[in-house]
Amino acid sequence: MHRVTRFFPILTWGRSYDRAAFTDDLIAAVIVTIMLIPQSLAYALLAGMPPEAGLYASIAPIILYAVFGTSRALAVGPVAVVSLMTAAALGEVAAQGTAGYAAAALTLAALSGAILLAMGLLRLGFLANFLSHPVISGFITASGILIAVGQLRHILGIEGGGDTLIEIGTRLVENLERTNIATLALGAAALGFLFWVRRGLKPALRRLGLGPRTADIATKAGPVVAVVATTLAVWGLGLDARGVAIVGQVPQSLPPLTLPDLSPPLIGQLFVPALLISVIGFVESISVAQTLAARRRERVRPDQELIGLGAANLGAAFTGGFPVTGGFSRSVVNFDAGARTPAAGAFTAVGLTVAALMLTPAIRYLPNATLAATIIVAVLGLVDLGVLRRAWAYSRADFAAVAATIAVTLLLGVEIGVSAGVAISVLLYLFKTSRPHIAEVGRIPGTEHFRNIHRHEVETTPAVVTLRIDESLYFANARFLEDHILDRVTRDPAVRHVILQFSAVNEVDLSALESLEAINDRLREMGVKLHLSEVKGPVMDRLERAHLLGELTGNVYLSQHAAAEDAASASPGPAPQSERTT
Amino acid sequence: MHRVTRFFPILTWGRSYDRAAFTDDLIAAVIVTIMLIPQSLAYALLAGMPPEAGLYASIAPIILYAVFGTSRALAVGPVAVVSLMTAAALGEVAAQGTAGYAAAALTLAALSGAILLAMGLLRLGFLANFLSHPVISGFITASGILIAVGQLRHILGIEGGGDTLIEIGTRLVENLERTNIATLALGAAALGFLFWVRRGLKPALRRLGLGPRTADIATKAGPVVAVVATTLAVWGLGLDARGVAIVGQVPQSLPPLTLPDLSPPLIGQLFVPALLISVIGFVESISVAQTLAARRRERVRPDQELIGLGAANLGAAFTGGFPVTGGFSRSVVNFDAGARTPAAGAFTAVGLTVAALMLTPAIRYLPNATLAATIIVAVLGLVDLGVLRRAWAYSRADFAAVAATIAVTLLLGVEIGVSAGVAISVLLYLFKTSRPHIAEVGRIPGTEHFRNIHRHEVETTPAVVTLRIDESLYFANARFLEDHILDRVTRDPAVRHVILQFSAVNEVDLSALESLEAINDRLREMGVKLHLSEVKGPVMDRLERAHLLGELTGNVYLSQHAAAEDAASASPGPAPQSERTT
């Protein structure tokens, strides 16, 4: 691929842009814009930002992603989990509603943009792989619960907040008696309506003869209906005077040009949160992008995606926004509405700009309870406690990773939760590979096949022990191998030959090499020869660079059969025995 | 093994103890005692402790290890690297020479003892495996350099110290002009003599007709000669009045009963250093123990070794000592001198007790320079920069781990050095396995064997792609697999079947399972079938608990040959082509 088009995917699709694509993109943009207005306001509320910041965070980032991103359908902007992480990070440095808070949001977006851009340029996209699927599922589920419980205060019209389930719950219970009835009535109505839209509207529309896609898209407009109805109710009934919290006056403005504060102490405080936000945001975004791309047999390039998301976050930092990423629901709507190129995103940006300029007076009486209701309904779709059951059924290690991630996230907050999840997955993996499966094998009579003596009826020779190692050999299991082999040999004084069958050994690192040398030395001291069989090409290439093969007391055989024949004939003793063990 | 004898190995060897074993053990004990007196004093100096603490640290620990340890020849006590780590840890909480420093040493030994004991009882000995051989070699080499350079100040008779090469070097250079000539003369003489003993004495003794073992043991007495000669020189010439630093008055006493300070703040400060000291001490000790045990076809049990070392450290904490572990040189001397049981250790303890009671007045005029010289000569034997060359020749990843460990230890100190080494090894391993080798294979004409299309002349069918994955599938490489397969298929619209040959896949975790499900879904959307072949038993057992096999668009085949035959006959298209690439 040409160097310039590699970094500017727009040059690829832009060249063949025509009127048909333009029409499709425009229709998709109108639909997405309508859906995004309430969503952007809601995620601004979740992130603790002023409502207009949600709109601003959806404009410049969408355009920048359209230039640098590789997915044709991904829609970037504020999303639930990243907004929650943003609130948690900013809460450490400033109080919500202060100028310092909004300023720190710009710094966080700038840092996140710089980190994503650096990861993309250094091709470090693979780092996101260390978030295992169980950890991501657990984290998203726990975040969804934290968000939903955290938004309940807006439905009740009370004070609250907090970073952990216990903090949020305690404050909810403490303030429960101060519940504002008018707010609760509006919030409950919005919540009920939105749940019905999600569960009941689509089948109803299908019965009315709408196609599945159209029905899907129409249900996404539910929040808009809730927004309009509750805004009119507050305005008409003067509910704001009865204590219903409303969005309030929102400036009518283009996204402002802002300069993030890059003072070293602030960067020091926000760097780790920005890193976690970047990685989580990237993982979420790339999954959406890959899912949509596969439906059209297209490909997204992960390292270029990092650059696209990095540019989008830098855009948010310089235009009064906060951290953004590719969102699932908006991207699916964009895709289903027929968006063909990233130009659809650019048109959406234009739509949102018009909204920021013209529509903001109309949302003055919009109650926060309605926004909270849209958030709750959206995030409950993320909560998937079934992952615990599926993980349990599949493997205990995966279950431990999910359960620990969920518990730590709920009880200690999002930042510790995701870090703990990564640490646990890595440790569990190392633990598993540190105790590899080592099968003692014997020959199936009359064949050249060797199988586990505990599973098959096989022939063995008392003086010859053959061990098949079902794992690559590296530092974490090198000593286990030493212990296993030396235990086996010291238990049985008849042993004169040990054959290690290397057919499943994909690597031998320096630690394992030194363990093999130690095993060779110690077996020599016991008068036992060490042989290797079925060593893979790349492993053999590497072993040949070391001293082991020269010092090996035995031989290296291409086939296990040849090794066993040779060892058995070299060792005087009783004839082969047939052996069977459970 | 019986439960009680499992935890008290003394009950096993104690029952068959006879006069012959007694004689052998007693001779070994006399030799080891003579060697240990200067060594214990020297390592006390290195740890920043008063000289008698070195003797105390060798008495109770030896006896406790004799009761609980499983190695018959291991000699525990202060050793070089652990003493350096002790000085680094204690330097953080108190100044050398203060009462607080010696008190903190007891806390450090108690914590280290508790950690080792807990690891042993919880059978966590495998955790030590995460220190890869390159990291250990690099760490020991860098520690040896730090120790040797750090001791130069005693040879020169100047002030100094520090935790990193730069700190130590800067202070050496600053104070160089204050060099004490008398001290330098003594120190240089001792250093020269000890180097000659190490290099030249053994061949000389062999020429005089001594056996290799006797010659070896005699050279170990070199430090005793240096100690006696330089002590006499200081005393006779009154060199202490000329500014030669001497050991000074040492109390004539049995090891005192001491109670370590276990206040939470002190524990908080010393916990991490104690953990690192425990792990490094254990790794050093177990290597020595296993090497010696193998020579007599005996076995040591790692988890019981942890208990033995834990008891030894608790013993040090309650008798005025500091952290101890099994030492290489003393254990080898013990073994070579003919020690047959841990009773030799107990006799050595008696010998050292006599020394603490009777000999301490004699060492009053012993110059610190002599002790520094014995340390320098001992630790230069640990320095092995050749490991850099060997690691480079073997693999770049191992080289990176060694080089980083050496550099970080020298420049940032022992604690950060060993932590960085572990982190780097784990990350490099994860990085390597995150990009597994995936070979596209084809059939060798006329056989049922499948080989890499880039290495062999093989037959392939355009509609069928077979990929052999040479690694277990887990979270770190799950996305790589997705990318690799989808890239391959989108590049080539002729593909209708993808066969994954699982012969080298030892595990599929939940993340990889979900990636396989995603691959299956996306290939289905592209109209491509996914098949699996040669899935191992334990992997198949696990896959059967999940939905994948039910939803798989293709089949699971026992042999790759059957899979290829079936896929080729199912897909209309041109006849098989013979293909050869590079």
Using the 8-state DSSP alphabet, how is residue A54 labeled?
H
A33 touches chain B (CB under 8 A): no
Mean pLDDT of all residues in A149-162:
90
Determine the residue of chain A that is closest to B389 in CA distance: A546
Cα gap A205→A211, rounded to integer Å: 8
B-chain residues near A516 (CB < 8 A): none
Q: Which residues pair with B498 in a beta bridge?
A: B465, B530
Read off the pTM.
Answer: 0.74
Specify the higher pLDDT residue, A572 or B272: B272
- Check pLDDT > 50 for residue B576: no
Both tokens of residue B60? 């109770």
Q: Residue B581 — pLDDT band, cuts 50, 70, 90?
A: very low
Domains for chain A: give ranges and CATH numbers. 17-208+226-239+261-422 (no CATH), 438-579 (3.30.750.24)
pLDDT reported for residue B128: 76
B429 touches chain A (CB under 8 A): yes
Span between the terminal Cα atoms of chain B, in Å: 59
Rounded to 5 degrees, what are φ and ψ at A536? -65, 155
Report CB contact under 8 Å: A134, B510: yes
**Which region holds residue B162: left if phi is over 0, alpha if psi is between -120 and 50, else beta?**
left
Mean pLDDT of all residues in A231-240:
91
Q: Any idea how long chain A is?
A: 582
- Check pLDDT > 90 for residue B497: yes
Cα B27 from chain centroid? 31
A-chain residues near B432 (CB < 8 A): 507
Interface of A with B in 293-312 (CB under 8 A): 294-295, 297-299, 302
Q: Are B150 and B162 in contact, with CB atoms under 8 Å apart?
A: yes
Cα gap B329→A401, rounded to integer Å: 44
Both tokens of residue B212? 């290799």
Mean pLDDT of all residues in B40-50:
92
* Cβ contacts of B223 within 8 Å, gap of 6 or more: B35, B38, B39, B42, B194, B374
pLDDT reported for residue A577: 42
Place of tokens 């979740």: A46
Q: Are A87 and A48 in contact, with CB atoms under 8 Å apart?
A: yes
Both tokens of residue B485? 């397969």
Cα gap B229→B224, rounded to integer Å: 9
B525 touches chain A (CB under 8 A): yes
Q: Residue A133 — pLDDT band, cuts 50, 70, 90?
A: confident
Q: How far is CA A355 from CA A52, A358, A363, A369, in A?
A: 10, 5, 10, 21
What number is the ipTM of this complex? 0.73
Report CB contact under 8 Å: B394, A490: no
Cα gap A288→A327, rounded to integer Å: 7
Cα gap A162→A165, rounded to integer Å: 8
- Check pLDDT > 50 for residue A582: no
- Check pLDDT > 70 for residue A271: yes
Report CB contact under 8 Å: A393, B545: yes
Both tokens of residue B129? 């495996």
Q: How far is B308 from chain A (nearest CA, A)?
A: 18
- Check pLDDT > 80 for residue A226: yes
Interface of A with B in 180-239 (CB under 8 A): none
Both tokens of residue A464? 């010859």
A404 touches chain B (CB under 8 A): no
Place of tokens 């976050």: A313
* Cβ contacts of A167 within 8 Å, gap of 6 or more: A161
A526 touches chain B (CB under 8 A): yes
A-chain residues near B297 (CB < 8 A): 490, 525-526
Q: What percentage of residues in chain A have a pLDDT greater than 90?
A: 36
- Check pLDDT > 60 for residue A104: yes
- Check pLDDT > 70 for residue A288: yes
- Check pLDDT > 60 for residue B579: no
Among the partner residues A302, A434, A510, nearest to B394 by beta-carbon distance: A510
Both tokens of residue B83? 């003493």
pLDDT reported for residue B156: 93
DSSP-assigned states of every residue in A497-552: EEEEE-TT---B-HHHHHHHHHHHHHHHHTT-EEEEES--HHHHHHHTTSSHHHH-
Q: Residue B503 — pLDDT band, cuts 50, 70, 90?
A: confident
Cα gap A138→A417, rounded to integer Å: 9
Report CB contact under 8 Å: B394, A294: no
A-chain residues near B391 (CB < 8 A): 510
**Which region holds residue B413: left if phi is over 0, alpha if psi is between -120 and 50, else beta?**
left
Q: Are B532 and B569 in contact, with CB atoms under 8 Å apart?
A: no
Determine the residue of chain A that is closest to B542 in CA distance: A394
pLDDT reported for residue B2: 57
Among the partner residues A474, A504, A525, nearest to B429 by beta-carbon distance: A474
A507 touches chain B (CB under 8 A): yes
Both tokens of residue B535? 């899935």
pLDDT reported for residue A251: 87
Give residue-wise pLDDT tens across range A469-490. Answer: 988 898 888 888 988 998 899 8
Among the partner residues A129, A299, A398, nearest to B476 by beta-carbon distance: A129
pLDDT reported for residue A213: 75
Using the 8-state DSSP alphabet, how is residue A447 labeled?
S
Could you tell me which of A311, A350, A320 has the C-alpha nearest to residue A256? A320
A130 touches chain B (CB under 8 A): yes
- Check pLDDT > 80 for residue B297: no
Cα gap B103→B53, rounded to integer Å: 11
Mean pLDDT of all residues in A431-459:
84
Q: How far is A107 from chain B (nearest CA, A)?
A: 29
Give residue-wise pLDDT tens across range B93-144. Answer: 999 888 899 999 999 999 999 999 999 998 887 777 778 888 888 988 999 9
pLDDT reported for residue A561: 86
Q: Residue A407 — pLDDT band, cuts 50, 70, 90?
A: very high
Q: Are A63 and A29 in contact, with CB atoms under 8 Å apart?
A: no
Among the partner residues B133, B426, B436, nearest to A514 by beta-carbon distance: B133
Q: Which residues pair with A452 in a beta bridge?
A: A441
Among the partner residues B134, B294, B474, nearest to A510 by beta-carbon distance: B134
B487 touches chain A (CB under 8 A): yes
Q: Is the dihedral of CA B364, B368, B370, B371 positive or negative?
A: positive
DSSP-assigned states of every residue in A542-581: HHTTSSHHHH-SS-EESSHHHHHHHHHHHS-SSPPEEE--
Give the range among A233-242, A406-415, B549-558, B565-574 with minimum mean pLDDT: B565-574
A553 touches chain B (CB under 8 A): no
Give residue-wise pLDDT tens across range B406-456. Answer: 999 999 988 888 888 888 888 888 888 888 888 898 988 887 778 888 878
Hey, of A140, A299, A474, A510, which one would you mutate to test binding to chain B, going by the most B CBs within 10 A of its CB?
A: A510
Buried b vs exposed e over B440-476: b needs ≥16 C-beta within 10 Å?
ebbbeeeeeebbbbeeeebbbbbbbbbbbbbbbbbbb
Q: Are B202 and B262 in contact, with CB atoms under 8 Å apart?
A: no
Q: How far is B1 from chain A (nearest CA, A)?
A: 13
Interface of A with B in 40-59 (CB under 8 A): none
Q: Residue B155 — pLDDT band, cuts 50, 70, 90?
A: very high
Q: Are A279 and A131 in contact, with CB atoms under 8 Å apart?
A: yes
pLDDT reported for residue B229: 93
Hey, of B510, B519, B523, B535, which one would you mutate to test binding to chain A, going by the most A CBs within 10 A of its CB?
A: B510
Q: Where would I find the beta strands (DSSP E) of A413-477?
A: 438-443, 450-452, 458-460, 464-469
Both tokens of residue B506? 């030892």
Cα gap A370→A289, rounded to integer Å: 29
Cβ-in-10-Å burial (0-12, 13-18, 19+) of B303 comes to middle
- Check pLDDT > 50 for residue B578: no
Rounded to 5 degrees, what are φ and ψ at A177? -65, -20
- Check pLDDT > 90 for residue B541: no
Q: How far is A318 from chain B (nearest CA, A)?
A: 33
pLDDT reported for residue B575: 40
Cβ-in-10-Å burial (0-12, 13-18, 19+) of A383 comes to middle
- Check pLDDT > 90 for residue B337: no
Mean pLDDT of all residues in B200-208:
83
Q: Are A355 and A345 in contact, with CB atoms under 8 Å apart?
A: no
Provide the 10 A C-beta neighbour count for residue A273: 22
Could you tell me which of A145, A163, A130, A161 has the C-alpha nearest to residue A419? A130
CA triple B229-B232-B237, angle to 5 deg: 125
Place of tokens 């009579």: A445
Among the partner residues B129, B393, B433, nearest to A479 by beta-carbon distance: B129
Q: How many CA atoms lie within 13 A of A238 on its CB side?
A: 1
Average pLDDT, chain B: 87
**Which region holds residue B536: left if phi is over 0, alpha if psi is between -120 and 50, else beta?**
beta
Could you tell me which of B453, B481, B462 has the C-alpha nearest to residue B580? B453
What B134-137 contacts at long range (C-beta under 8 Å, 24+ apart), as own/partner pairs, is B134/A475, B134/A510, B134/A511, B134/B387, B134/B391, B134/B398, B134/B399, B134/B401, B134/B402, B134/B405, B134/B425, B135/A475, B135/B401, B135/B402, B135/B405, B135/B418, B135/B421, B135/B422, B135/B424, B135/B425, B136/B283, B137/B384, B137/B387, B137/B402
Q: How far is B504 from chain A (nearest CA, A)?
A: 5
Strand, helix or coil for residue A449: coil
Q: Are A127 and A121 in contact, with CB atoms under 8 Å apart?
A: no
Q: Read off the amino acid at residue B272.
A: V
Buried b vs exposed e over A512-542: b needs ≥16 C-beta within 10 Å?
bbbbbbbbbebbbebebbbbbbbbbeebeeb
Mean pLDDT of all residues in B332-348:
85
A-chain residues near B521 (CB < 8 A): 294
Mean pLDDT of all residues in B318-339:
88
A-chain residues near B282 (CB < 8 A): none
Both tokens of residue B57? 């640290």
A-chain residues near B134 (CB < 8 A): 475, 510-511
Q: What percentage of residues in chain A have a pLDDT greater than 70?
A: 97
